[in-house]
Chains A and B, each alone.
Chain A
Amino acid sequence: MVHIVDGVLSAPVLITGAIATAAAVAWGLKTLTPEDLPRVGLISSALFVGTLVHVPLGPSNVHLLLNGLAGLVLGWAAFPAILVALLLQAVFFGYGGVTVLGVNTMVTALPAVLCHYAFRSASGRTAPFAWGAAAGAAAIVLTSVGVGVALAASGREFLPAAKLVVVAHVPVMMVEAVLTGAVVVLLHKVKPEALAGGRPMAAIRGG
Chain B
Amino acid sequence: MASAVRTSAAAHVVLILVVPTFLVLVSVVLVSVLLAWASTPAQAHRLQVFALAQGHQVRGYVYFGGNVRARGASVQVMGPDGTILFATNTGDDGSFAFLAGARIDHRIVADLGDGHRAEFTLPAARLPPSLPVSPAMATPIFSPAGGDGEASRQQIPGETVDMERATTPSLSPASIETMIDETVARHVAPLREQLVAYEAQVRWRDVLGGIGYIAGVVGVAAWFLGRRDSRGG
**A-to-B contact residues, CB < 8 Å:** 1-5, 7-8, 29, 32-34, 37-38, 40-42, 44-46, 48-49, 51-54, 59, 61, 63, 84-85, 88-89, 92-95, 147, 150-151, 156, 160-161, 164-165, 168
A61→B44 contact, CB < 8 A: yes
Of B81-89, B141-149, B216-224, the segment with at least 4 beta carbons within 8 Å of chain A is B216-224
Closest B residue to A163 by beta carbon equals B114
Contact check, A44 vs B214: say whether CB atoms are below 8 A apart: yes
Minimum CB–CB distance from A138 to chain B (whole Å) comes to 20
Taking CB atoms, residues of chain B closer than 8 Å to A29 are: 221
Is there contact, CB below 8 Å, between B225 and A45? no
Residues of B within 8 A of A52 (CB): 34-35, 38, 42-43, 202, 207
Contacts of A33 in B (CB 8 A): 225, 229
- CB–CB B45/A5 < 8 A: no
Residues of B1-51 at the interface with A, using a CB-CB cut-off of 8 Å, are 12, 16, 19-20, 23-24, 27, 31, 34-35, 38, 40, 42-47
Give the contacting residue for B114; candidates A1, A38, A63; CB below 8 A. A1
Is B115 in contact with A41, judged by CB distance below 8 angstroms?
A: no
Question: Could you pull out 17 A-B pairs where Cβ atoms are within 8 angstroms?
Answer: A4-B115, A5-B47, A5-B115, A5-B118, A8-B115, A8-B117, A37-B221, A40-B218, A41-B217, A45-B31, A48-B207, A48-B210, A48-B214, A49-B35, A49-B207, A63-B45, A93-B45
Chain B residues near A49 (CB-CB < 8 A): 27, 31, 34-35, 207, 210-211
Q: What chain B residues lie within 8 Å of A92 (beta carbons)?
A: 202, 206-207, 209-210
Closest Cβ neighbor of B22 among chain A residues: A38
When distances are taken between beta carbons in the complex, the residues of chain B under 8 Å from A2 are 115
Q: Is the CB of B47 within 8 A of A34?
A: no
Asked whether B98 is an interface residue with its Cβ less than 8 Å from the other chain, the reply is no
B200 CB to nearest chain A CB (Å): 8
A3 contact set on B, CB distance < 8 A: 45, 115
A93 to B64 Cα, complex, angstroms: 13
- Known contacts A3-B115, A5-B47, A34-B225: does B27 contact A46 (CB below 8 Å)? yes
Chain B residues contacting A93 (CB-CB under 8 Å) are 43, 45-46, 202, 206
Q: Which residues of A contact B68 (CB under 8 A)?
A: 61
Provide the residues of chain A in CB contact with B64, threshold 8 Å.
Answer: 61
Task: Say yes or no: B23 contacts A42, CB within 8 Å.
Answer: yes
Q: CB of B158 within 8 A of chain A?
A: no
Q: Which residues of B contact A94 (CB under 8 A)?
A: 46, 200
Q: Can you add 7 more A-B contacts, CB < 8 Å, to A5-B118, A32-B221? A: A37-B225, A45-B24, A46-B27, A52-B35, A52-B38, A165-B114, A165-B115
Would B38 and A41 count as touching, CB distance under 8 A?
Answer: no
Pairwise interchain contact A5-B117, C-beta atoms closer than 8 A: yes
- Output the nearest chain B residue to A4 by Cβ-Cβ distance: B115
Q: Tell me which residues across on chain B come within 8 A of A95, comparing CB atoms.
A: 45-46
Shortest B20–chain A CB gap in Å is 5
- Interchain CA distance A89-B44 in the complex, whole Å: 13
List B contacts of A45 (CB < 8 A): 24, 27, 31, 210-211, 214
